[in-house]
């Protein structure tokens, strides 16, 4: 039996999206159908990478092809997600759907740990994720990802030299820690630190990302102002706890 694109789509028309109560073809969730003899490959575009029914939908797609098209078919289903965004008309990071800043009023509250775990969790759910270590003075992301001795490659694209982020655990990473000796202290004044952040953002080839997480330094500084002015951050997480401040009478929120 000859396998055709029409037969594949007809079979997948029997696979329902459990939440939306419509079939995948009607919802336009089937993309990139490729057929090579008995090998059938296609992509299912979910509404979110965190879909709890991802495995169930994948099994249903495979069963539909085997049952309605060819019992000997070898089916490969690529599960991805079309992540929504409120960013539009951006000149900087225009291929990034969401920029998430992780901040805290003081150090030591687990901000970088949250950033690293959130990045890996999103990547594990199928999202395309990048993480910028914007703590220029105390970069910790290279250590957290076991990549402190990695170095980003340089590649020319569209006539310009770009840094290629280091990839670990499905996450694209950039940090000043990749560009300096691990045992070398980084003592930079505000303008130089701000320029370094601009380079990590604008001089890197991030490609298409669903989420770009930015791990900010503690407190408030030129780094925060540079990020706010230079890019459109549409999500934020602030880690804090209440402590008694020795220099003031009121509780300080961090």
Kindly report, residue by residue over 43-60, the tens digit of the pLDDT. Answer: 999 887 777 788 899 999
Write down the pLDDT at residue 173.
Answer: 95
Q: Calculate the alpha carbon distances from 178 to 151, 173, 183, 208 in Å.
A: 5, 9, 12, 22
In a domain? residue 239: yes
Of the candidates 81, 114, 147, which is a domain's last residue?
81
List the domain range (segments joined by +) for residue 52.
Answer: 5-81
Say if residue 131 is in the same domain as residue 213: yes
Say if residue 154 is in the same domain as residue 224: yes
Kindly report, residue by residue over 203-235, the tens digit of the pLDDT. Answer: 889 998 989 998 887 766 555 555 554 455 555
CATH number, residue 67: 3.30.300.130
Contact (CB, 8 A) for 131 and 115: yes
Residues 6+ apart with CB under 8 A from 47: 20, 81, 82
Mean pLDDT for the chain? 80
Tell which residue, 173, 186, 165, 107, has the closest CA to residue 144.
173
Confidence (pTM): 0.65
In a domain? residue 253: no
Tell which residue, 205, 125, 197, 202, has the closest CA to residue 162.
205
Say if residue 179 is in the same domain as residue 118: yes
Say if residue 42 is in the same domain as residue 103: no
In a domain? residue 87: no
Higher-pLDDT residue of 170 and 247 is 170
Write down the pLDDT at residue 156.
Answer: 86
Say if residue 61 is in the same domain as residue 23: yes
Higher-pLDDT residue of 170 and 216 is 170
Say if residue 128 is in the same domain as residue 175: yes
């Amino acid at each position: 039996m000859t396998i055709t694109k029409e037969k594949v789509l007809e079979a997948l028309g029997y696979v329902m999206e459990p939440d939306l109560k419509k079939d995948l073809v009607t919802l336009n969730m089937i993309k990139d159908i490729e057929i090579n003899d008995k090998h059938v490959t296609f992509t299912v575009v979910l509404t979110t990478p965190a879909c709890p029914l991802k495995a169930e939908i994948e099994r249903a797609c495979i069963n539909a092809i085997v049952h309605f098209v060819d019992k000997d078919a070898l089916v490969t289903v690529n599960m991805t997600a079309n992540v929504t965004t409120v960013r539009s008309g951006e000149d900087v990071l225009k291929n990034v759907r969401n920029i998430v800043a992780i901040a805290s009023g003081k150090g030591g509250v687990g901000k970088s740990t949250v950033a690293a775990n959130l990045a890996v969790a999103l990547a594990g759910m199928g999202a395309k994720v990048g993480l910028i270590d914007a703590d220029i003075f105390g970069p910790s992301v290279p250590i957290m990802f076991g990549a402190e001795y990695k170095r980003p490659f340089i590649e020319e694209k569209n006539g310009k030299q770009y840094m290629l982020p280091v990839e670990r655990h499905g996450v694209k990473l950039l940090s000043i820690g990749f560009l300096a000796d691990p045992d070398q202290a980084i003592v930079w004044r505000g303008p130089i630190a701000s320029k370094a952040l601009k380079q990590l953002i604008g001089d890197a080839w991030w490609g298409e990302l669903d989420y770009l997480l930015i791990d900010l330094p503690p407190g408030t500084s030129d780094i925060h102002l540079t990020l706010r002015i230079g890019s459109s951050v549409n999500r934020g997480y602030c880690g804090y706890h209440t402590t008694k401040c020795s220099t003031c009478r009121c509780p300080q929120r961090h």
